[in-house]
Amino acid sequence: MSKPAETTAAAQADAAELRLVERLRGKDETAFMEIVDAWGPSMLRLARQFTPSTAVAEEVVQETWLAVLDGIDRFEGRSSVKTWVLRILVNRAKTRGARERRTVPFAALAGEESGGDFHAVAADRFLTEAAKYPRHWGSPLPRWEAQPERALESAETLALIRSAIDELPPAQRTVILLRDIEGWDGPQVSNALDITETNQRVLLHRARSKVRAALEADFASAA
Amino acid sequence: MTDHTVTDALPELPCQDLVEVVTDYLEGTLSDVDRRRFEEHLEVCVRCVAYVEQIRLTIGATGRAGAHPDALPAELRDGIRAAFRDWAA
């Protein structure tokens, strides 16, 4: 039923993409600065995940835009312009980060952060093996949907989430940023970061679990 | 929920294990058997229903938390525009 609408929306998106590419090829500064302003802040944040300082991240963003301009005539439209731009950014940021830091490559970091023991929820929240219902919740969980209206929408809560993400180890932070903030899908993230899909999923799991735990602790202390 | 023949045939999934596979569940990477076990658990466990709901709400709130990063620093923006003008010239 929704087919015609979807087709129309997809066709409109394609047309907008084509127009954007044409304007960039036509050296239209307004079109260029529009996407710089729209995507630049996310790009800077993303670049920062791989680089040792904001200054280096800013250089990566600038270099990326130059590479975009130099490559726009060869852009074939197999992905959206934004996906293409972000791929250039991630590749450059990774290369630059590896060079600057001379530390473990991202894949090694990702391996480290997905190894070892992990508990999404503290073990003492569950009943022991000896209980009638072993390893089931020891006490009820609050329904967050019953939280005071907009508790999850409040500026305070959103700030808390940002600081919980800041505290994550780098690979987990990068994955949750790309998945839940930038909206990439699993294969896009594992490709861009050169990690397996399983690894990507483990990092995402740990990151989301920790953010949930931070929210729970905050809601509990506020209650 | 009245028909427990299938449930009984499956090894049980304790809550403590469910919270570790919730991402696999949401990503659609659980095997059919594990997915069924997961869903059957939710049918009888309000605590895990609340947990999965919390995870879903966390995902949504995370998206909103990061939706508006600060604007580009003016100097960087100017530098990019200058680079564009060089390129366009």
Q: Tell me the pTM.
A: 0.85
Nearest residue to A220 (alpha-carbon basis) of A156, A144, A155: A144
Interface check for B82 against chain A (CB to CB < 8 A): the answer is no
Residue A46's closest chain B neighbor by CA? Answer: B69
In this predicted structure, what is the pLDDT of residue A12? 84
Q: In sequence order, what are the beta bridge partners of A126?
A: A137
In this predicted structure, what is the pLDDT of residue B10? 47
In this predicted structure, what is the pLDDT of residue B8? 47
Separation CA B62–CA B83 (nearest Å): 34
Mean pLDDT of chain A: 90
Give the distance from CA A40 to its chain's centroid: 15
Give the distance from CA B83 to its chain's centroid: 39
> With 80 as the cut, is the pLDDT of residue B11 above it?
no
Nearest residue to B55 (alpha-carbon basis) of B31, B33, B32, B23: B23
pLDDT digits (tens, 9 = 90+) for A44-61: 999 998 888 999 999 999
From A33, A137, A204, residue closest to B47, measured CB to CB = A137
Residue A123's closest chain B neighbor by CA? Answer: B16
Separation CA B49–CA A148 (nearest Å): 19
pLDDT digits (tens, 9 = 90+) for A166-186: 999 999 999 999 999 989 999
Mean pLDDT of chain B: 88
What is the nearest CA distance from A27 to chain B, expressed in angstroms? 6
pLDDT digits (tens, 9 = 90+) for A6-32: 678 888 888 899 999 999 999 999 999
From A66, A137, A152, residue closest to B83, measured CB to CB = A66
**Contact criterion met (CB < 8 Å) for B58 and A58:** no
Q: Calculate mean pLDDT across residues B60-71.
A: 90
Give me the interface pTM, i.e. the ipTM.
Answer: 0.84
Instruction: Provide CB contacts within 8 A for A40, sequence distance 6+.
Output: A61, B71, B72, B76, B77, B80
Interface check for B16 against chain A (CB to CB < 8 A): the answer is yes
> With 80 as the cut, is the pLDDT of residue B86 above it?
yes
Nearest residue to A72 (alpha-carbon basis) of A27, A13, A11: A27
